[in-house]
């Protein structure tokens, strides 16, 4: 689709049944004894709590844990996998209006190379096994593998409507988000050969997604329908739909009545990026029209709150420890806009669901999508309407790099990234 992209907390009350403390202690002792007896055969299982040097130990079992304490425990800066830690630190920037990819040296902020892409490149996406960066040429109907060790593009592969790309948690399938087709295409993650499709007719503008902590389901945003859908990953069926057009709970967002998009009439919500909170069940959804983030209980699939951030709330990235969310506010409620708008980054404290810092772009800008540097000290974001890329210092909020790139920069990727595997987009790592 044309130059644009897409868009969260709540406290949980758990009932605890306290009965028969003595009986519980006996049961606990028995369970502990059995665990000790069985521990010798389980140490090499590559479970969800371990950091692996390569993707071979990531199995379906290890990617379907019980509710984890912090789903981002494996994206801390010390957990870059051994097989990619020497990949050069680069930022790959697809620019959808100039049909180029700019390669930036992450250490210096200097442009190293710019190469031509097919029509309308939207995102650069790390593969599940972290061996390939996939360039998605949405209107060129191709995807191109980039070697992260050399920064060189390979041979293009024909793929229908590749707006965005995700992967099943066990890496068995790539999920091409065919936005214009209102469809999710499950493909071979290496060859991109089609395997099956899931039609999503009520999800106009399907584009961004994230998984629950136990990987049972994924939530997708429907930008032009003002709603979310919930997909059961075992049955691969849509099991829920949530309308975001009503006033969000506790919202201080501006009234968007009458906001119009061509062919879509009046719309009151434009959900963009969505990211799961560290608890694995709270989802945060950036909304470009309501200037903030919807808070969603994923299990019950209900909206529980709203956090006002800034105009054009768009991309979301968790901090390395998962305690904060960085929300890119694009500075406009429109898909296209003039440069120099009131763009900013809002920092949300996940525990309190409050904005604890706001970082405006000096002299205006349009921060959109991106990711953190491997050490988490810089937040790299594309400047959608300003043909540039920003690097924000995550301690001070200062813009330390401002790099000119092609027109319409969008889903840039920062490489390498810590984590066991990639779930897609611009580096949703677990």
Query: Could you give the domains of the chain?
Result: 90-253+272-415 (2.130.10.10)
User: Which residues contact residue 231 at a Cβ distance below 8 angstroms, ignoring those fewer than 6 apart?
Assistant: 184, 198, 217, 218, 219, 220, 237, 238, 239
| pLDDT of amino acid 268 | 86
Burial class (CB in 10 A: 0-12, 13-18, 19+), 170: middle
| pLDDT of amino acid 247 | 58
What's the rounded mean pLDDT across residues 274-300? Answer: 97
What's the rounded mean pLDDT across residues 42-48? Answer: 31
- For residue 173, give both structure tokens: 């399938």
- For residue 323, give both structure tokens: 């305690």
Average the pLDDT over each of 46-50, 286-290, 297-301, 312-316 and give the range with the smallest value: 46-50
Whether the per-residue pLDDT at 265 is higher than 70: the answer is no
Distances (CA, A) of 301 to 50, 217, 263, 358, 378: 30, 11, 28, 29, 33
| pLDDT of amino acid 335 | 84
| Model confidence, pTM | 0.83
Average the pLDDT over each of 191-200, 251-260, 318-327, 397-406 and give the range with the smallest value: 251-260
DSSP string, 401-424: EEEE--SSB-B-EEES--SS-B-B
Peptide bond between residue 368 and the one before it cis (omega within 30 degrees of 0): no
Whether the per-residue pLDDT at 128 is higher than 70: the answer is yes
In terms of pLDDT, which residue wins out, 145 or 25?
A: 145
Residue 407: pLDDT band with limits 50, 70, 90: very high
| pLDDT of amino acid 261 | 45
3-state secondary structure of 34: helix
In terms of pLDDT, which residue wins out, 88 or 67?
A: 88
What whole-number percentage of the chain has pLDDT above 70? Answer: 79
What's the rounded mean pLDDT across residues 346-357? Answer: 98
Q: For residues 33, 37, 42 and 48, what is the CA-based torsion angle, rounded to 10 degrees? A: 10
Q: How far apart are CA 371 and CA 419, in angstroms?
A: 13
What's the rounded mean pLDDT across residues 49-67? Answer: 42
| pLDDT of amino acid 334 | 85
| pLDDT of amino acid 22 | 33
With residue 116 as reference, give the H or E element that holds it: strand 111-116
Q: How far apart are CA 373 and CA 410, in angstroms?
A: 17
Whether the per-residue pLDDT at 145 is higher than 90: the answer is yes
Q: How far apart are CA 161 and CA 152, in angstroms?
A: 23
Q: How far apart are CA 60 and CA 369, in angstroms?
A: 29
Q: For residues 84, 85, 91 and 93, what is the CA-based torsion angle, rounded to 10 degrees? A: 10
Span 14-25, pLDDT tens digits: 333 333 333 333
| pLDDT of amino acid 15 | 32
Span 181-226, pLDDT tens digits: 999 999 999 999 999 999 999 999 999 999 999 999 999 999 999 9
Span 304-325, pLDDT tens digits: 999 999 999 999 999 999 999 9
What's the rounded mean pLDDT across residues 126-155? Answer: 98
- For residue 100, give both structure tokens: 């180029």
Q: Give backbone dihedrals phi and psi of 11, rounded to 5 degrees, phi first.
A: -100, 145
User: Which residues contact residue 401 at a Cβ distance below 8 angstroms, ignoring those fewer than 6 apart?
Assistant: 109, 378, 389, 390, 391
What's the rounded mean pLDDT across residues 33-49? Answer: 33
Residue 69: pLDDT band with limits 50, 70, 90: confident
135 forms bridges with which residues in the sheet? 124, 144
| pLDDT of amino acid 107 | 98
Nearest to 164 by CA among 174, 172, 156, 173: 174
Residue 67: pLDDT band with limits 50, 70, 90: low
Contact 119, 139 (CB under 8 A): yes
């Amino acid at each position: 689709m044309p130059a644009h992209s897409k868009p969260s907390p709540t406290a949980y009350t758990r009932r605890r049944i306290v009965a028969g403390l003595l009986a519980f202690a006996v049961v606990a002792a028995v369970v502990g004894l059995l665990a000790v007896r069985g521990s010798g055969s389980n140490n090499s299982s590559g479970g969800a709590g371990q950091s692996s040097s390569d993707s071979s130990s990531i199995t379906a079992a290890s990617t379907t844990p019980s509710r984890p304490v912090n789903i981002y425990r494996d994206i801390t800066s010390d957990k870059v996998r051994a097989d990619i830690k020497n990949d050069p630190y680069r930022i790959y920037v697809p620019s959808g209006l100039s049909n180029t990819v700019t390669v930036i040296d992450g250490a210096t902020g200097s442009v190293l190379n710019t190469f031509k892409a097919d029509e309308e490149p939207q995102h650069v996406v790390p593969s599940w096994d972290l061996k390939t960066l996939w360039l998605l040429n949405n209107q060129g109907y191709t995807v191109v593998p980039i070697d992260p060790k050399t920064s060189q593009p390979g041979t293009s592969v024909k793929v229908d409507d590749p707006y965005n790309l995700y992967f099943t948690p066990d890496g068995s399938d790539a999920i091409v988000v065919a936005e214009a087709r209102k469809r999710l295409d499950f493909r071979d993650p290496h060859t991109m050969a089609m395997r099956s499709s899931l039609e999503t007719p009520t999800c106009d503008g399907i584009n961004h997604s994230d998984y629950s902590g136990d990987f049972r389901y994924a939530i997708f945003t429907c930008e032009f329908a003002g709603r979310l859908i919930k997909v059961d990953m075992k049955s691969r069926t849509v099991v829920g739909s949530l309308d975001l057009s009503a006033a969000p709970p506790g919202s201080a967002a501006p009234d968007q009545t009458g906001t119009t998009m061509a062919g879509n009439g009046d719309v009151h919500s434009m959900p963009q990026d969505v990211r799961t909170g560290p608890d694995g069940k709270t989802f945060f959804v950036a909304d470009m029209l309501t200037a903030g983030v919807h808070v969603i209980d994923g299990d019950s699939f209900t909206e529980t709150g709203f956090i006002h951030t800034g105009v054009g709330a768009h991309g979301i990235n968790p901090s390395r420890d998962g305690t904060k969310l960085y929300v890119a506010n694009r500075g406009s409620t429109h898909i296209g806009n003039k440069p120099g708008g009131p763009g900013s980054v809002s920092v949300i404290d996940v525990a309190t669901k409050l904005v604890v810092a706001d970082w405006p772009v000096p002299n205006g800008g349009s921060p959109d999508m991106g990711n953190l540097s491997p050490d988490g000290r810089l937040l790299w974001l594309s400047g959608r309407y300003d043909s540039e890329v920003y690097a924000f210092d995550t301690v001070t909020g200062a813009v330390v790099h401002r790099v000119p790139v092609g027109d319409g920069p969008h889903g840039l990727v920062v490489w390498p990234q810590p984590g066991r595997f990639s779930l897609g987009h611009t580096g949703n790592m677990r």
